[in-house]
Amino acid sequence: MNSILDYALLGGFSILSVALLLSMVRLLKGPSLPDRVVALELIASITVGLIGLYAIRSGKDAYIDVTMVLALTAFLAAIGFARYLEKGGHRDDQ
């Protein structure tokens, strides 16, 4: 069962895994708080992509619902953090 779809999924998993690793480095390294928040948002987006690929591979539609909830939660967290910074929250880059 080595179809083109299997190779495409393997490539997708590989690329997203490398992107996840690089995002984790940026999250830990910083240097500023907004950089870390952007890295955290990127990690959430990459996770949505990984779950989406797994949904394609497994053929289960329930994982698509999980990706929607995760994407909406990450979006709301980004809005909340932007609001926090706008109101004068702690920033490392000032």
pLDDT at 1: 54
> Domains in the chain, ordered, with CATH?
4-86 (1.10.287)
pLDDT, position 33: 82
The pLDDT, as a whole number, for residue 30 is: 83
- Closest C-alpha among 29, 16, 38 to residue 82: 38
Say yes or no to pLDDT of 89 above 70: no
For 18-38, what is the mean pLDDT? 91
**pTM of the full structure:** 0.84
The pLDDT assigned to 92 comes to 59
pLDDT tens-digit profile of 48-65?
999 999 999 999 999 999
